Structure 1
Amino acid sequence: MIHDQLLLIIGLLLCVAMLSMLSDKLRIPYPIFLVIAGLLISLIPGVPPVKLHPDLVFLIFLPPLLYAAAWNTSWHDFWAAKRPITLLAFGLVIFTASLVAIVSNAIIPDFSLALGFLLGGIVSPPDAIAATSVIQKMNVPKRIVTILEGESLVNDASSLIVFRFALAAVSTGQFVFWTAAGDFAKVVLMGIVVGLAIAHIIYAIHKFLPTTPSIDTAITLITPYLMYITAEHFHFSGVLAVVSGGLFLTFRSGDIFSYETRLQAVSVWQTLVFLLNGIVFIMIGLQLPEITGGLGEYSIGEVIFYAVVISIVTIIIRLIWIYPGAYLPRFLFRSIRENEPNPGWRLVFITGWSGMRGVVSLASALAVPLTLDTGGAFPHRNLILFITFIVILCTLVLQGLSLPWIIKKLNIASGDSHEKQEMEIRYKLATAVLDHITTNYASETANIDAYKRVKERYERMVQITSNKLNNEEAKEEAPSFLPAYYKMLYEMIEVRRKEIKEMRREKSFNEEILREKERELDLEEARIRK
């Protein structure tokens, strides 16, 4: 019954939420817990299988996941790191897919080269979520995070295009390189065109129509599906449509969204992405018993051996590619040597070791069709699914758990002046406010206390920030004073919350007004904690 399956999925999602809380407690990226949860679910006897048609996997999961990744990417940083991102997202994906195809064809009996390319396309794209969630906490240079996020965004598109052509080759039994290369270029370019065209329409809707925060948030949920479905309808790359359109809209988001929309949309999207990640891993866990039972002539031991070999190959391929990709352009082009600092072998190794596979690979494997165009069963589908799951498990657990230790062992520290930039931004903002007050409210600040206090506040902010930028001691903001000060601010918020609770218990005030005051306190606490 569908009700029983829904109850099962909801219960498992609750388990995923619990595991994520545990991952936060242990400071381990939650994708690692998700893949382990999927494995444990498969071992529970009597768990009924939940099936989702392969054609629906990409349609349901990919558009929002890709759109969220694009939304969290800085276009300025992305463009500044375009060379390493391109080398990793296109060059490394094709290199990985090719070598995985050769290795899998060599070690797996009755596994064609076309199936090898299909498997290679599935396991070639790393997932940045696990890597960046570790790296961002380890104070490494921002450029590494930018490269990993940008690579993950673009290589999803390139790997899925490889997946698409390999799938066509397996289904039809035909593959002509020149025809495929031309189709590849058309699919890529027209996918970008479709994405940008729809993004401009959505931009106009947000900008010029009288939307509300709820409508704006709803439109952001609809947009990736609109881009993906439109591009796929014309047989172009829906993935690149979502990526290109998402990058355009995130670049212009400051022009079209109010503060209320941003607060609401961010919360909605964080929850959606979390649930989609959890559902994908749950889906593979629920299907693993059926997958292992459908391996045919292959034993579990043989398939695990194949999967481990391919996992090692994917890790080694990335390390082999990453050093020439980092140093060869510097050797060939003087402008790169002059304009970009030498990354050093340690940072290059960290970038190479951060190639954990994740949800996109899993979604791609689940999207392999059940049958060929001729009506026959798709060859080795269960084998491909099982190998993909083991590759994700191996890379997430081995690389994900070892990455913090390696970063500490290599003694990598951030050279970024994040704190200084924050001070400079604060100084410029406060100076702009002071200039505006002086120009437009000179008489008010001279005669009205409220105006005078605002001006004094920003004058003090300018002075303190200037002292910090000049490495001078700001006695008013002594570090020993701040913890007690923030503790007092939190206590003031809690006192007001308790008072609101008491008013609610007495039923002497309007509930709507009390909720508004609670929201004000929430925003105040968020600002202080930030």
Structure 2
Amino acid sequence: MSHRSIEIVVVVVTAVLALTWLARRFRLSEPMLLLAGGALIGLLPRFGDIPLPPEVVLFLFLPALLYYESLTTSLREIRANLRSITLQATGLVVLTTAAVAVLAHAAGLSWPLAFVLGAVLGPTDAVAVAAVAGGLPRRTVTMLRAESLINDATALVLLAVALEAAVEGVPFSWSGTTLRVTLSYAGGIATGLAAAGIIVLIRRRWRDPMLNSGLSVLTPYAAFLPAELLHASGVLAVVTCGLALSQAGPRLIPPTARLQAVSFWEVTTFLLNGALFVLVGMQLPAAVRGLASFALPHALLLASGVSAVVIGVRLLWFYTVPYLVRLLDRRPGQRDRRIAARHRLPLAWAGMRGAISLAAALSVPALTAQGLPVHDRDVIVFITTVVILISLVLLGPPLPALIRWARLPADPTQAEEERLAVREITRAALTALPEQAARLGTPAPVADALARELADSGRHGQAETAEHARRLRLALLQVQRATLIRLRDHRHIDDIVLRHLQARLDAEQLRLDEDQDNARAAPAEVRDGSVTHGSAAATPERDAERHGS
């Protein structure tokens, strides 16, 4: 890495940290402040000519961000809302692409380049959506996140087809495009499942926490790159792999490795998300300077019109297509899941575009296959940049107020499921306690004390920490984890509930392991039980906070 590259990394990360602190300190919009800060950096002579290589976004940032999003989303909610998510991730992208293309062609772009612009702006951005998705119920968040995870795959296939027409002169065909989308989806899903299967086989044999954590970092790229080499959807490969591993991971990953991986991914995605907003902002001055094909007022007018189309098509979709679906599907189960028009507005409004669109626009080559310049490429980059800016400025800040206005129904099931899970894992631990105590030779007073603690509080963390109690607790933690997984597999609780309670159990095991390490290093009179170790005030929640879970 060159000295210049290191300088850029330091500047971008410093900007992310400083601007995020300012946004949180003064309760400002983080995406907007990061974007504005990036634009100011882009105005500086030293940083005004820094390009954003599309490969950096599409091959370095995108797999990591998609993987973490897929690991932390709710597979049960995706299954329950699969039809809506699929329609939004395919039909809405195609409709947006076509609408933008019609307007762009009317404004002077050739049909191939007009469709390139439409495909570039077709998908919402997972980073931008995640940044404003707070305060939404679980079902709404899952639908938005899943849509933004999958619609990239549709848009990138449409972009490839449009680029072939614009750059190589390949005739466009709806049947050919449909076949490519289908094969891309099927290949991406198959590659993701294969990658997940290989990762599971490796994890069954690797118990070392550091190796498991390193494997977690490698996984998204191990799914993405083979899919791209096979001309399948790397996006769907990563998403499929992440969803599959979210189901298998709780059985395979040791608690220490899980806590390490969670902490790593939380920090990494925070920095990557922030860096993308800063980098997009840094491209704004360059996009204005590079505009040559259109006069600036004309380009701004077209960009405003395209923004209106992008936003308007999404609003139109959410207030027409669901009603058409209702006419065709009147099953009781579907009627129960219908969303009122008022509740649908946050879904319709959260259509921000982001770095994926900019990377797609920058990937448009400067020359055709014949070596001729691609006219209006600068216009595509400029319009894309302005649409990203307008969508973040116009849609992002009002969204919290719209969420409050929509009066979305609370999601009581998560709290109910968590209470159910706590009851069940406590019951399972109490049931297994006599057998485990007998197997481990735990003295009766220690087992009785732990039984009273479980019965009183339903959680660990307050009883004697002698070696007998520690070993018994570790055995019971395994029982409780197995009970949690069984509840999730039988769909009594959601993945989100499992992860939350699993983090508490992992933190408890880490505390018990630390107690053992402290005991080994302690004087003999402490090890024989005359002095207890650890803080009586320690709780799973505090340990979870302390260890980043």
Which of the five TM-score ranges fits, normalised by the shorter chain?
0.7 to 0.9
Asked if the contact 2:123/2:148 (under 8 Å) is kept, the reply is: yes
Partner of 1:426: 422
Please say if residues 15 and 278 of structure 2, whose CA atoms lie closer than 8 Å, have aligned partners that are also in contact. Answer: no
Q: Shift of the alpha carbon at 1:284?
A: 3.6
Given the alignment of the two structures, is residue 173 of structure 1 paired with residue 169 of structure 2, yes or no? yes
* 1:192 lines up with 2:209 in the alignment: no
Q: 1:118 is matched with which residue: 111, 116, 119? A: 116
Q: Helix, strand or coil: the match of 1:387?
A: helix
Query: How much does 1:299 deviate?
Result: 2.6
Question: Which segment is superposed worse, 267-276 or 116-125?
Answer: 267-276
Equivalent position of 2:265 in the other structure: 269
Amino acid at match of 1:118: V
Q: Evaluate the alpha carbon distance shift between residue 429 and residue 265 of structure 1 in structure 2; reply closer, same or farther with a 3 A threshold.
A: same
Deviations 1:422-469 (A, max 9, x none): 222211111111111245448999963322221111111359xxxxxx
Partner of 1:472: none
Mean Cα deviation higher: 257-266 or 408-417: 408-417
Is 1:453 the counterpart of 2:449 in the alignment? yes
The 8 Å contact of residues 53 and 359 in structure 2, kept in 1 or not, is answered as no
Taking a change above 3 Å as real, the CA distance of residues 401 and 308 of structure 1, as seen in their structure-2 partners, is same
Counterpart Cα distance in 2 of 1:212 and 1:370: 48
Q: Distance in 2 between matches of 1:245 and 1:293?
A: 41
Q: Deviations over 1:146-175 (max 9, x none)?
A: 111111111121111112211222111222
1:236 is aligned to 2:253:
no
* Aligned partner letter, 2:350: S
Tell me by how many angstroms 1:5 deviates.
Answer: 4.1
Which residue of 1 is the match for residue 466 of structure 2? none
1:317-372 Cα distance to aligned partner (Å, 9 max, x none): 00100122323222221215655243111111111011111232233223333333
Task: Determine the structure 2 residue equivalent to 1:38.
Answer: 38
RMSD over equivalenced CA pairs, Å? 3.1
Measured after TM superposition, the shift of residue 411 of structure 1 is 3.1
Q: What CA distance in whole angstroms lies between the structure 2 residues aligned with 1:394 and 1:23?
A: 19
Measure the CA separation in 2 of the matches of 1:414 and 1:226: 39
Task: Quote how far apart the aligned CAs of 1:306 are.
Answer: 1.5
CA–CA separation in structure 1 for the residues paired with 2:247 and 2:27: 31
Match of 2:72 in 1: 72
For 1:34 and 1:114, the matched residues in 2 are separated by 33
Q: How far does the alpha carbon of each residue in 1:481-511 deviate from its partner, in whole angstroms, 9 at most, with x for none?
A: xxxxxxxxxxxx9xxxxxx9xxxxxxxxxxx
Residue 84 of structure 1 contacts residue 325 of structure 1 at CA under 8 Å; is this kept in 2?
no
Q: Which residue of 2 aligns with 1:471?
A: none
Query: Counterpart of 2:462?
Result: none
Amino acid at match of 2:217: L
Report the CA distance shift for 1:53/1:408 in structure 2 as closer, same or farther (over 3 A): closer
* Counterpart position of 1:412: 408
Gaps of 5+ in 1: 464-492, 494-499, 501-515
Once residues 148 and 342 of structure 1 are traced to their aligned partners in structure 2, the CA distance between those partners, rounded to angstroms, is 16
For the structure 1 residues 303 and 336, does the alpha-carbon distance in structure 2 shift closer, same or farther, using more than 3 Å as the test? farther
- Aligned to 2:358, the other structure's residue is in SS state helix
Distance in 2 (alpha carbons) for counterparts of 1:189 and 1:276: 29
Q: Quote the residue 1:332 is aligned against.
A: 328
Q: TM-score, normalised by structure 1?
A: 0.81
- Output the CA distance in 2 between the equivalents of 1:446 and 1:458: 16
Which stretches in structure 2 are left out of the alignment for 5+ residues? Answer: 460-510, 512-517, 519-532
Change over 3 Å in CA distance of 1:298–1:328 after alignment to 2: same
Tell me the CA shift for residue 291 of structure 1: 2.8
Residue matched to 2:521: none
Structure 1 match to 2:294: 298
CA distance in 2, matches of 1:77, 1:221: 26
The answer as to 2:32 corresponding to 1:20 is: no
Preserved CA contact (<8 Å) 1:280 1:363:
no
User: Which residue does the alignment assign to 2:63?
Assistant: 63
Letter in 2 for 1:525: R
CA contact (8 A) 1:122 1:388 kept: yes
Query: Which of 307, 321, 326 is the equivalent residue of 2:303?
Result: 307
Cα gap change, 1:403/1:287 in structure 2, threshold over 3 Å: closer, same or farther?
A: closer
2:544 is matched with which residue? 527
Give me the TM-score of the superposition, normalised by structure 2.
0.79
Amino acid paired to 2:110: S
Query: What count of residue pairs does the alignment treat as equivalent?
Result: 474
Residues 78 and 146 in structure 1, CA contact (< 8 A), matched pair in contact too: yes
* Letter aligned with residue 542 of structure 2: E
Q: Is the 8 A contact 2:120 2:159 kept in 1?
A: yes
Q: Specify the code of the residue in structure 2 equivalent to 1:313.
A: V
1:353–1:399 Cα contact (<8 Å) kept:
yes
1:124 is aligned with what amino acid?
A: G
Pairing of 1:46-195 with structure 2 (within 5 A): 46-107=46-107, 109=108, 111-136=109-134, 138=135, 140-174=136-170, 175-195=172-192
What do residues 379-402 of structure 1 show as CA deviations (whole Å, max 9, x unaligned)? Answer: 322222221121111111211100
Q: Percent same amino acid at aligned positions?
A: 33
Can you list the C-alpha shifts for 1:114-148, whole angstroms capped at 9, x where unaligned? 21221111212112444455443x3x432111111
Letter in 2 for 1:97: T
Distance 1:228 1:412, change over 3 A: closer
- C-alpha spacing 1:416/1:391, structure 2 compared with 1 (3 Å): farther
Q: For the Cα contact (< 8 Å) 2:40–2:282, is it kept in 1? A: no
